[in-house]
Structure 1
Amino acid sequence: MLTKSNMKWVLILVLMLGLLRHYILKNALNKRR
């Protein structure tokens, strides 16, 4: 079950994963040039 504290950690994880994907995509685009 998701409690409010668990929701906070899930949101943080999602944000971190989004940032990681963003940086990986940026690096891939830079390498391609």
Structure 2
Amino acid sequence: MNLSSSWDHRVVDGHDGATLVQKVKTLLENPATIFM
């Protein structure tokens, strides 16, 4: 799955934004993990 985002780097560090996108991607690919 491809997932992208746009962040204002004055507010969100690029590493933190990328980490959030990876976690959201993982949850969307495996929705059963939300309930574990």
TM-score range, shorter chain: 0.5 to 0.7
Alignment gaps of 5+ in structure 2 = 1-7, 32-36
The answer to which structure, 1 or 2, has the higher relative contact order (CA under 8 A, 6+ apart) is 2
Who wins on radius of gyration, i.e. which is larger? 1
What root-mean-square deviation, in Å, do the aligned CA atoms of Structure 1 and Structure 2 show?
1.8
TM-score, with structure 1 as normaliser: 0.58
TM-score, with structure 2 as normaliser: 0.53
Among the aligned pairs, what percent are the same residue? 13
How many aligned positions are there?
23
Stretches of 4+ aligned residues off by more than 4 angstroms:
none
